[in-house]
Amino acid sequence: MTLAHYSGIFLVLFLITALGLYSGSRVKSAGDFSSGGRKAGAGLVAGAVIGTLAGGASTIGTAQLAFIHGFSAWWFTLGGGLGCLILAICYAKALHTSGVSTLPQMLAAEYGRKVATAASLLTSLGSFLSIVSQVLSAIALITSVSGLSSLPATLIAVLLMTCYVMFGGIFGAGIVGMAKTLLLFSLTVVCGLMALYLQGGWSSLASALPPEGSFGLTARGLPVDVGAGLSLVLGVITTQAYIQAVISARTLRLAKSGLFLSAALIPVIGIAGILVGLYMRVHMPDINPAGALPVFVLEHMPPLVAGMALGTLLITVAGSAAGVALGLSSMFCADIYRVYFNPAARDKTLLFVSRAAIACIFAAAALISAGNMGSLILGWSFMSMGLRGAVAFGALTAAVYIPGRVSASCALCSMFVGPLCILLGKPFIGGLLDPLFPGVAGSLIVLLIGYFRGVRRNA
């Protein structure tokens, strides 16, 4: 790292900080913080979605998995893009016109408060695992390009993530997300094309690697990789951060436009990361796979540009974690704190609690990440998305498409059966099948039983 590298990083951080301060100046209430007062355009919606979904897992984690398993690493961004598409077509209208600000509030309107509380707690656990993956990505990035050990790298990462969204809320996630998306898309496309150029083209890359385990989408096995893609689809549909972006839109049309734009751009980011991972496997096979993308940037870009790229990656990781943490804090305030602790809480109190919850979430993520330094980043991300999908996908779908036909008791039971089937299925099915399949199947079976019995919820 030279002075030019640090200058490039500083330029990017200065830009993002200025945008964050601007977005913070627009926050006047807890509603502005969580949903932006429903004033967002398509660009802000896409910025919030891509800024959260295209984080460390989509970049550093994708390059890491591609280094090991090739093109099967595409399932994270491919599944994320498909999830945005399905969210726009099948769920955006119901979410945007519901008048609620969180997923549990929508479930409460259909099934009652107990179901909403269970959804809030269980999906929060899944979202928290996603934050852990982003912290691991940030640590891999910082330690790869500096002489810092994991502890100071963890502290830097968590501090940056906290500041990213602490003041701007959804405005910060959207406005900064737009800038970050432009920077990230430019960086990843340039890196992917550069990797192809340095290798001498696609044919040269294909001949330098074994076809088995390098260029197939199912290198880890068809059930495992398809299950990973499905976990992303269901996770996007049921994650508060993406639902929050839809709700923040000024109109339904703008919400859908932002989701369609996200669906088009996110898979491209994954392809670029895969090309870098494959190139580094050919030329630097002995490095830590988690450092494939940062090391490529340092080795093959001019110092100032490399610094800007590293700053962009750092902001990318921070923004993704911050967006998920914002969704968690919104659910905690609306569905836990305001319901069970302080129903008469004033606006300033809710704003303070939202920010305090974000700080606590990142502190806990830092503690867990410190003990899992050797983990596969995308492994945490797939697990996170799958758990959220198994909990809430069935209940949300029933609330949208067959309202009044499933009882609250069946909905509540399905939310516990899904994760339980995932946990119990893992030891028995091993690598034969992704545990997400029995988890989602178990949840849907419970809901179907309730539907065919014709049980209606108690008024």
What's the token pair of residue 443? 């949840």
Nearest C-alpha neighbor of 9 from the set 230, 183, 250? 183
In a domain, 183, yes or no: yes
CB 81 within 8 A of CB 261: no
Residue 437 CA to residue 326 CA, distance in Å, equals 29
In a domain, 338, yes or no: yes
Nearest C-alpha neighbor of 390 from the set 434, 325, 438? 438
Nearest C-alpha neighbor of 34 from the set 369, 355, 310, 341? 355
Residue 367 CA to residue 358 CA, distance in Å, equals 15
pLDDT at 281 (0 to 100):
92
Token look-up 């502005």 returns: 32
In a domain, 435, yes or no: no
In a domain, 251, yes or no: yes
Burial 117-138 (b: 16+ CB within 10 A, else e): bbbbbbbbebbbbbbbbbbbbb
In a domain, 164, yes or no: yes
What's the token pair of residue 238? 């049921």
pLDDT at 331 (0 to 100):
79
CA-CA-CA-CA dihedral for 116, 28, 177, 101, to nearest 10: 20
Residue 420: exposure state from Cβ atoms within 10 A (0-12, 13-18, ≥19): middle
Residue 364 CA to residue 320 CA, distance in Å, equals 17
Quote the number of domains for the chain: 1
CB 452 within 8 A of CB 242: no
85 is in which domain, residue-wise? 3-391
Query: What's the farthest any 2 CA atoms get from each other in the chain?
Result: 69
Chunked into runs of 10 residues, the chain (459 residues) has average pLDDT values of 87 77 55 54 82 79 89 90 93 86 85 87 83 84 79 83 59 60 85 92 88 78 83 87 84 92 92 93 88 89 89 80 78 81 80 83 83 64 81 89 87 89 71 74 88 61
What residue ranges in 184-227 does DSSP mark as E strands?
none
pLDDT at 20 (0 to 100):
64
pLDDT at 34 (0 to 100):
45
**pTM strictly above 0.75:** yes
Residue 67 CA to residue 275 CA, distance in Å, equals 9
Nearest C-alpha neighbor of 162 from the set 329, 368, 348? 329
pLDDT at 404 (0 to 100):
83
In a domain, 413, yes or no: no
295: domain CATH number? 1.20.1730.10
In a domain, 315, yes or no: yes
pLDDT at 37 (0 to 100):
53
In a domain, 329, yes or no: yes
